[in-house]
Amino acid sequence: MLKVNNINMSYGDLQVLWDVTFEVRKGEIVVLVGANGAGKSSILKTISGLQNVSKGTITFEGENVSNINPSEIIKHGIVHVPEGRKLFNEMTVEENLIMGALHGEAKEKRNETIEECYLLFPRLEERKKQLTGTLSGGEQQMVAVARGLMSKPKILMLDEPSLGLAPVLVQDIFNIIKSINKQGITVLLVEQNVQSTLTFCDRAYVLENGKIVLEGTGQELLNNEHVKTAFLGI
Amino acid sequence: MELFLQTLIYGLLIGGLYAVIGIGMTLIMGVLGIINLAHGQIMMVGMYLAWVFWTFMGIDPYLSLFLAVPLVFLLGIFLSKYFLQPLIEKESILPENQVLMTVGIGMVLVELARFIFTSDYKSVETSYSSETIALGNISISLPMLIAFVIAIALTLGLFQLLMKTDLGRSIRATAQDKDAATLMGISSKKITILTYGIGSGLVGAAGILLLPMYYLYPDVGPIFTIKAFVITILGGLGSPIGAIAGGIVLGVAETFGATYISMGYRDAVGLVIFLLVLVFLPGGLKQVLKI
């Protein structure tokens, strides 16, 4: 579904991605794991066009989307839920959700999708008139995920949804991601929370210094010696 | 007491107009992240357009709002698309240089006006220019009252646009987080250009509303650029509601200054407030009103 072929990407003179190749198949949950600065978020930014590739191609459903204008990417069904949530904090929860559905089919079905999101996150319905800046971290993350769902994505790219959340909330968010995936939405997840994500993902790629060094199913990687020493501390 | 009430009412009325001037500036500040130092000069263009419509076609200034404001809107679109946007797109150019560009735009507009209309003072003398409505011992200037009502209507219309439409929400979203807005499929370029157009149209409308009570000359703009800047700072950067409050505070303060100190110190009062706000209330009225 999403194929990333040999991409290089640089911030100015600083190259951060080196020959990165991976793919996400329809219906999967794929995780990119790696330490801080390994290039995980940069990969998502490159897919969504916020950064340009200097080499290589990105294709989605057979269509070349490399170096696409970032405001166009959502129309292809690729939705990026950025790191740090990036909500519109001076807008209400409901307005934030509306912002996810500005185009095409998503816009027509806006009201239905809002109801679906409220079923998935009952907490958000209670707080729909509240400014998102006044919500707790967990609630903000729910808004960010829900806003992503509002665009009726084919693939949802989540950048560290567990960042800054209490462990019990982290588990909630992961459960929600699993249930979203069950509804047929493909998920590409970037996480530092290696242990728990590897247990529920279909496949994972390990990044180090802007290169993919390992790939496999979650279970394979959990048993991998390198992953054990580098990420799990066992 | 009557003098006090008279002053207060006049201040509120002029404050309504200042609010429209300030909201335009605030919108531009929020989305483009720059102070539009051509703001008053764009207003001057709107005033000259309305003057032309009045003098050569006999169109009432209030009617010419419908003709001149769209033209000023288009001027804003043109200026931002061809002069400001190219600077935004080049990363090597600092955002400060967009501010310098607005200074240049302002100068060119003033000199063009001087070239076309000369420096002579012009005015629009309508049948109602000097009419007043008496409320007991207080008299209210009719054009001032009409201007205030239209200013309120414009403000309400703008809020309707900002709060209830996808376009308005996109403008607010872009002002709050440009990257996130882009990921929602909003073209920040389009929104930026459009916002400058809307801000220009608003200040142009305010200028036209002032026209029946004001002399018009090419240099009428700069003092309004400063006023708009003061209002924006007073209201708290980037907050339209703050700008309304700021506009009214400035209007009232200026009128009281003019009445109780001296007419000549009218503009100085605004600037003193500006300094006091910067020193003691850097977040502006937004900080106090929690809006």
Instruction: Tell me the domain boundaries of chain B.
Output: 2-289
Which alpha helices (DSSP H) does chain A contain, by range? Answer: 40-47, 93-99, 104-108, 110-120, 122-126, 137-150, 167-182, 194-200, 218-222, 225-227
| Side chain identity, residue A228 | K
Q: The tokens 């991998």 sit on which residue?
A: A224
B183–A74 C-beta distance less than 8 A: yes
The complex's ipTM? 0.87
Nearest to A71 among B172, B177, B185 (CB): B185
Mutation for A interface: B26, B92, B184, B286, most A CBs within 10 A: B184
| Contact yes or no for B285/B249 (Cβ under 8 A) | yes
Q: What is the pLDDT of residue B72?
A: 97
Number of Cβ within a 10 Å radius of residue A32: 26
**A-B contacts at Cβ under 8 angstroms:** 64
Decide if B272 touches A, using CB distance below 8 A.
no
Average pLDDT on A67-89 reads 90
Residue B259 Ramachandran class (φ > 0 left, ψ -120 to 50 alpha, else beta):
alpha
Q: What is the pLDDT of residue A34?
A: 87
A103–B185 C-beta distance less than 8 A: yes
Q: What is the pLDDT of residue A179?
A: 92
Q: List the one residue out of A113, A166, A174, A176 whose CA is nearest residue A138.
A: A166
Decide if A100 touches B, using CB distance below 8 A.
yes
| Contact yes or no for B159/B240 (Cβ under 8 A) | yes
| A57 min Cα distance to partner chain B (Å) | 20
CA A44/CA A47 separation, integer angstroms: 5
Task: Choose which CATH entry (1.10.3470, 3.30.70, 2.60.40, 3.40.1350) describes domain B2-289.
Answer: 1.10.3470
- Return the half-sphere exposure (C-beta side, CA atoms, 13 A cut-off) of residue A128: 15
A48–B183 C-beta distance less than 8 A: yes
Q: List the one residue out of B199, B200, B210 whose CA is nearest residue B151.
A: B210
| Contact yes or no for A31/A187 (Cβ under 8 A) | no
Nearest CA in chain A to B164: A95
CA B154/CA A209 separation, integer angstroms: 55
A151–B185 C-beta distance less than 8 A: yes
- Return the half-sphere exposure (C-beta side, CA atoms, 13 A cut-off) of residue A97: 26
Sorting pLDDT into bands at 50, 70 and 90, what band is A35?
confident
Average pLDDT on A215-231 reads 87
Q: List the one residue out of A93, A82, A166 whose CA is nearest residue A133.
A: A93
A102–B180 C-beta distance less than 8 A: no
First to last CA, chain A: 35
List, as ranges, residues 140-159 from A with C-beta within 8 Å of B. 147, 151
Q: What is the pLDDT of residue B290?
A: 65
B185–A72 C-beta distance less than 8 A: yes
| Side chain identity, residue B197 | G
A99–B173 C-beta distance less than 8 A: yes
- B9-35 pLDDT, tens per residue? 999 999 999 999 999 999 999 898 888
CA distances from B97 to A174, B39, B102, B104 (A): 46, 16, 9, 10
CA B60/CA B48 separation, integer angstroms: 13
Query: What length does chain A have?
Result: 234
Beta bridge partners of A10: A15
CA A47/CA A34 separation, integer angstroms: 18
Sorting pLDDT into bands at 50, 70 and 90, what band is A227?
confident
Number of Cβ within a 10 Å radius of residue A87: 24
| B81 min Cα distance to partner chain A (Å) | 18
CA distances from B245 to A89, A146, B211 (A): 22, 35, 23
Nearest to B185 among A74, A89, A98 (CB): A74
Q: What is the pLDDT of residue B291?
A: 57
Q: What is the 3-state secondary structure (H, E, C) of A194-210?
A: HHHHHHHCCEEEEEECC
- Return the half-sphere exposure (C-beta side, CA atoms, 13 A cut-off) of residue A28: 18
Query: Which residues, including other chains, have CB under 8 Å from residue A101's CB and lie 6 or more apart?
Result: A107, A109, A110, A113, A150, A151, A152
pTM score, two decimals? 0.89
Mutation for B interface: A90, A111, A113, A147, most B CBs within 10 A: A90
- A79-132 pLDDT, tens per residue? 999 988 899 998 999 999 999 999 888 889 999 999 999 998 999 999 999 999
Q: What is the pLDDT of residue B285?
A: 80
Nearest to A50 among B173, B176, B179 (CB): B179
Res. A233: pLDDT tops 80: no
| Contact yes or no for B246/B20 (Cβ under 8 A) | no
CA dihedral B256, B257, B258, B260 (to 10 degrees): 70
- A139-156 pLDDT, tens per residue? 999 999 999 999 999 999
For chain A, what percent of residues have pLDDT higher than 90?
60
Nearest to B183 among A82, A90, A91 (CB): A82
**How buried is B134 (Cβ within 10 angstroms: 0-12 exposed, 13-18 middle, 19+ buried)?**
exposed
Decide if A110 touches B, using CB distance below 8 A.
no
Query: What's chain A's average pLDDT?
Result: 90
Decide if B180 touches A, using CB distance below 8 A.
yes
A98–B172 C-beta distance less than 8 A: no
Q: What is the pLDDT of residue B270?
A: 84
- A154-194 pLDDT, tens per residue? 999 999 998 888 888 888 889 999 999 999 999 999 988 88
Q: Which residues of A touch B172 (CB under 8 A)?
A: 88, 90-91
Per-residue confidence in pLDDT tens, chain B, 291 aa: 888 999 999 999 999 999 999 999 999 998 988 889 999 999 999 999 999 999 999 899 999 999 999 999 999 999 999 999 888 877 667 767 888 999 999 999 999 999 999 999 998 888 887 888 888 888 888 989 999 999 999 999 999 999 999 999 999 999 999 889 999 999 989 999 999 999 999 999 999 999 988 889 999 999 999 999 999 988 887 788 889 999 999 999 999 999 898 888 888 888 888 888 888 888 788 777 765
Decide if B89 touches A, using CB distance below 8 A.
no
A88–B172 C-beta distance less than 8 A: yes
Nearest CA in chain A to B291: A90
